[in-house]
């Protein structure tokens, strides 16, 4: 087995302290593939996962209706031709149980289990200047050392439980969509309150409404949602994609979001009203996130975006019987500025007599009381309360770990004014520490599976390069990092994304610095990553 640690006989290792070439934090899709790649290189790697299973997002988010909104044939690994040929997706958008089965199948198929330690949260990771090793501390006090650390901790893995006065006093059951009970929840006969109207709420509300005696939704900001038109995949559809899978993947990766959104390279403003509406109608009828790629300027030009707003607003008016209610459900922000949602019967659910929408802009939420939720106008009583209140996105999981780099510098201090990372892969002053889909990479503005694979391959190739060239330290250079962060911000500022409060900006978390975190544009990003390698890892210091 190759050893890149080079520590034997050198480091002051505590007795029984295991030494690894690479510690990987997290066993979602990123951590699983990272482990597979590292092992193929003959490295000694260990994955630590806080949960009691693999699958990350699909392990934790078990709320009713949870499923992907990138088609499953694309939202899946492509690193193994055998895997992608043998696995059979059953629906256009796979359900959470199917995605979780897939993650477990991958762990079985590639025999990953022996190197994964479940129920083990990493609490700190300290770089030790004396021998350039990371000391990683596990919850409960265990410690290991490694040459490299890979944070595969997820962009949406730290649930946001808002600070609402009285939450602890509520006497019914409280659930967060991102930490759903594994045994499921039966809402039959219950009065249920849901706080939030993001993707998790929009997927779960129609199903909770089917069970509950009454459902009250507390909406602070409405969201745009496009019908999913989910359906079983036919054997012919699956066979067709599988007959040209590699080409299909390559074509999609070359598109703006790294997915087959049928990108249309026409301005929304270049067409007549009839032509434009026909395009929107076609996309609405086919369903899904491809709506946002109807025209090439929807995320860059306010006037172009306004045409999409008008179209969806009319649809909401058509779907919701009560015009006042339709108005409350209609956003006044640009389409896509908050992450676009994809639903099954979301708007129509509000036509049911036992479903009530409370617009918190009209009657602000005051506090939670023993029996329910108090707004400025009334108190609503519930048996169960569902917090569909999202995540501390992009930086939440990494920030929860006490990470210290060269000379003990804390990552928390470095990122106090917003995350700074070179290509979203590494952050200066924290050598040999890599981030998968970190801030400054397309990540959440892309089909995440191929973005994860791209990062994992970049990182493992980099480690291989280090080993082959007998190098032991790689660190991003501050100047390169600053230039990249500036570029990420300039790109965002030229788009509609900073025009509303979203988790892309950290605006959903009290006290979090408002900084746009993902990078917009898969193809230029991939080209830049390639160029950096071709130039001998330009922007990094290797020694
Ligand atoms: P995760 O799946 O989040 O896994 C990270 C893991 O790290 C978690 O299991 C966590 O427990 C663990 N971890 C974190 N911190 C620590 C620590 N300190 N110690 C030990 N373990 C730790 N993306 C798409 O592209 N398409 C979709 O359709 C889509 N649907 C989504 C639906 C939902 C409900 C959500 C929440 C997200 C969705 N996403 C989607 C984004 C999704 O998060 C990614 O697609 C992908 O699953 C992320 O994989 P990951 O391995 O990077 O992170
Ligand atoms: O979280 P969100 P999510 N009082 O942050 C509200 C992915 N995902 O879990 O908008 C009252 O979008 C908050 O209100 P506001 C996807 O990337 C994908 O739904 O801040 N309300 C908002 O309405 C997605 O974007 C799928 O004003 C409060 C909601 O809670 C990301 O995960 C499914 C509040 C949170 O919405 C996150 O989605 C699920 C408070 N104090 C998730 N605090 C797919 O379909 C928050 N809110 C594939």
* Residue-wise pLDDT tens digits, 281-295: 999 999 999 999 999
Q: Quote the tokens at residue 215.
A: 């459902």
CA terminus-to-terminus distance, the chain: 23
d(CA 543, CA 539): 13
Element (DSSP H or E) covering residue 151: strand 143-151
Looking at residue 9, its pLDDT comes to 31
Domain boundary among 354, 372, 390: 390
- Mutate which of 23, 28, 34 to test ligand 1's pocket (most atoms within 8 Å of Cβ)? 28
How far, in Å, is the centroid of ligand 2 from the Cα of 67? 15
In contact, 24 and 463? CB cutoff 8 Å? no
- Mutate which of 23, 26, 97, 442 to test ligand 1's pocket (most atoms within 8 Å of Cβ)? 26
Question: 3-state class of 49 per DSSP?
Answer: coil
pLDDT tens over the chain, length 543 residues: 344 443 333 334 556 789 999 999 999 999 999 999 999 999 999 999 999 999 999 999 999 999 999 999 999 999 999 999 999 999 999 999 999 999 999 999 999 999 999 999 999 999 999 999 999 999 999 999 999 999 999 999 999 999 999 999 999 999 999 999 999 999 999 999 999 999 999 999 999 999 999 999 999 999 999 999 999 999 999 999 999 999 999 999 999 899 999 999 999 999 999 999 999 999 999 999 999 999 999 999 999 999 999 999 999 999 999 999 999 999 999 999 999 999 999 999 999 999 999 999 999 999 999 999 999 999 999 999 999 999 999 999 999 999 999 999 999 999 999 999 999 999 999 999 999 999 999 999 999 999 999 999 999 999 999 999 999 999 999 999 999 999 999 999 999 999 999 999 999 999 999 999 999 999 999 999 999 999 999 999 999
d(CA 50, CA 149): 16
Give the domain extent around 399.
19-56+101-158+393-542
Ligand showing the shortest atom-to-Cα distance for residue 160:
2
| Pocket lining: 201 vs ligand 1, CB cutoff 6 Å | no
Give the list of residues 6+ apart from residue 141 with CB closer than 8 angstroms, or none: none
CA angle, 233 then 237 then 240, to 5°: 150
Looking at residue 12, its pLDDT comes to 45
Element (DSSP H or E) covering residue 40: helix 29-40
One domain, residues 359 and 402:
no
One domain, residues 291 and 197:
no
Q: What is the dihedral of CA 58, 60, 63, 67, to 10 degrees?
A: -10
| In 158-258, alpha helices (H) | 199-211, 235-242, 245-253
One domain, residues 265 and 384:
no
d(CA 371, CA 45): 49
- Mutate which of 70, 162, 198, 449 to test ligand 2's pocket (most atoms within 8 Å of Cβ)? 198
Is 207 part of any domain? yes
How far, in Å, is the centroid of ligand 2 from the Cα of 335? 15
Is 529 part of any domain? yes
Is 235 part of any domain? no
The label of the residue with tokens 């390559």 reads 250
Is 40 part of any domain? yes
Rg (alpha carbons) of the chain, rounded to whole number: 24
Closest CA to 460 of 111, 146, 36, 145: 36
Closest CA to 420 of 400, 404, 440, 401: 440
In contact, 32 and 154? CB cutoff 8 Å? no
One domain, residues 386 and 419:
no
Q: What is the pLDDT of residues 410-446, one digit of tens each?
A: 999 999 999 999 999 999 999 999 999 999 999 999 9
How far, in Å, is the centroid of ligand 1 from the Cα of 77? 14
User: Which residues sit opposite 195 in a β-bridge?
Assistant: 218, 387
One domain, residues 167 and 270:
no
Closest CA to 355 of 142, 523, 193, 153: 193
| Pocket lining: 50 vs ligand 1, CB cutoff 6 Å | yes
Is 179 part of any domain? yes
One domain, residues 260 and 316:
yes
One domain, residues 405 and 478:
yes
CA angle, 14 then 431 then 396, to 5°: 90
Residue nearest atom 11 in ligand 2 by C-alpha distance: 220
Looking at residue 14, its pLDDT comes to 58
How far, in Å, is the centroid of ligand 1 from the Cα of 277? 36
Ligand showing the shortest atom-to-Cα distance for residue 225:
2
- Mutate which of 61, 63, 157, 289 to test ligand 1's pocket (most atoms within 8 Å of Cβ)? 157
Phi, psi of 136, rounded to the nearest 5 degrees: -110, 125
How far, in Å, is the centroid of ligand 2 from the Cα of 312? 19
Which of ligand 1's atoms lies nearest the C-alpha of 158? 14
Domain count, the chain: 3
Residue nearest atom 24 in ligand 1 by C-alpha distance: 448
One domain, residues 153 and 165:
no
One domain, residues 342 and 435:
no
Is 498 part of any domain? yes
d(CA 434, CA 129): 17
DSSP state of 391: B
One domain, residues 408 and 425:
yes
Residue nearest atom 5 in ligand 2 by C-alpha distance: 390
One domain, residues 490 and 509:
yes
| In 87-198, alpha helices (H) | 96-109
The label of the residue with tokens 């745009």 reads 224
Residue nearest atom 52 in ligand 1 by C-alpha distance: 154
Phi, psi of 31, rounded to the nearest 5 degrees: -65, -40
* Strand bridging mode 19-25 / 143-151: parallel
The label of the residue with tokens 């900084």 reads 515
In contact, 309 and 303? CB cutoff 8 Å? no
Q: Which CATH number do you get for residue 211? A: 3.50.50.60
d(CA 67, CA 393): 19
d(CA 311, CA 295): 13
Looking at residue 8, its pLDDT comes to 34
| Pocket lining: 47 vs ligand 1, CB cutoff 6 Å | no
DSSP state of 264: -
d(CA 174, CA 167): 9
How far, in Å, is the centroid of ligand 1 from the Cα of 118? 15
């Amino acid at each position: 087995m190759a050893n890149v640690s080079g520590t034997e006989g050198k480091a002051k290792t505590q007795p029984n302290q295991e030494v690894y070439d690479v510690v990987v934090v997290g066993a979602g899709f990123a951590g699983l593939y990272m482990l597979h790649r590292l092992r193929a290189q003959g490295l000694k790697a260990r994955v630590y996962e806080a949960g009691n299973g693999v699958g990350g997002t699909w392990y934790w988010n078990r709320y009713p209706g949870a499923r992907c909104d990138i088609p499953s044939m694309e939202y899946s690994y492509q690193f193994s031709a055998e895997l992608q040929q043998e696995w059979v997706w059953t629906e256009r958008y796979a359900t959470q149980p199917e995605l979780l089965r897939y993650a477990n199948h991958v762990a079985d198929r590639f025999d990953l289990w022996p190197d994964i330690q479940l129920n083990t949260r990493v609490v700190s990771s300290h770089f030790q200047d004396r021998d350039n090793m990371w000391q990683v501390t596990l919850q409960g006090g265990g410690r290991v050392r490694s040459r490299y650390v890979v944070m595969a901790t997820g962009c949406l893995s730290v649930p946001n439980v808002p600070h609402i006065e009285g939450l602890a006093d509520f006497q019914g059951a409280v659930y967060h969509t991102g930490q759903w009970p594994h045994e499921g929840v039966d809402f039959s006969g219950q009065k249920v309150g849901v706080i939030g109207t993001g993707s998790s709420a929009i997927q779960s509300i129609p199903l909770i409404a089917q069970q509950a005696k009454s459902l009250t939704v507390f909406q602070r900001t409405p969201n745009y949602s496009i019908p999913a038109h989910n359906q079983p995949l036919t054997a012919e559809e699956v066979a067709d994609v599988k007959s040209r899978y590699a080409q299909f993947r390559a074509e999609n990766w070359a598109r703006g979001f790294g997915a087959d959104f049928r990108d249309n390279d026409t301005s929304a403003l270049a067409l007549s009203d009839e032509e434009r509406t026909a395009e929107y109608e076609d996309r609405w009828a086919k369903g899904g996130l491809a709506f946002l790629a109807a025209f090439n300027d929807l995320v860059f030009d306010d006037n172009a975006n306004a045409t999409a707003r008008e179209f969806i607003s009319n649809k909401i008016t058509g779907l919701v019987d009560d015009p006042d209610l339709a108005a409350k459900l209609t956003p006044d922000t640009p389409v896509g500025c908050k992450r676009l949602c994809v639903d099954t019967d979301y708007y129509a659910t509000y036509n049911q007599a036992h479903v009530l929408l409370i617009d918190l802009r009209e009657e602000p939420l005051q506090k939670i009381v023993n029996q329910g939720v108090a707004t400025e106008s009334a108190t609503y009583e519930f048996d169960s309360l569902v917090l569909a209140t999202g995540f501390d996105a992009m930086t939440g999981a990494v920030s929860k770990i006490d990470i210290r780099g060269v000379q003990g510098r804390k990552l928390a201090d470095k990122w106090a004014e917003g995350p700074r990372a070179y290509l979203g892969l590494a952050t200066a002053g924290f050598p040999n520490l890599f981030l998968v889909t970190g801030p400054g990479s397309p990540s959440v503005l892309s089909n995440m599976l191929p973005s994860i694979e791209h990062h994992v391959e970049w990182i493992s190739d980099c480690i291989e390069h280090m080993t082959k060239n007998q190098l032991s330290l790689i660190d991003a250079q501050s100047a390169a990092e600053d230039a990249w962060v500036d570029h990420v911000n300039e790109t965002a500022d030229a788009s509609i994304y900073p025009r509303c409060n979203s988790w892309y900006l950290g605006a959903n978390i009290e006290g979090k610095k408002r900084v746009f975190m993902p990078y917009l544009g898969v193809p230029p990003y991939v080209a830049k990553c390639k160029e950096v390698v071709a130039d001998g890892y330009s922007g990094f210091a290797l020694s």
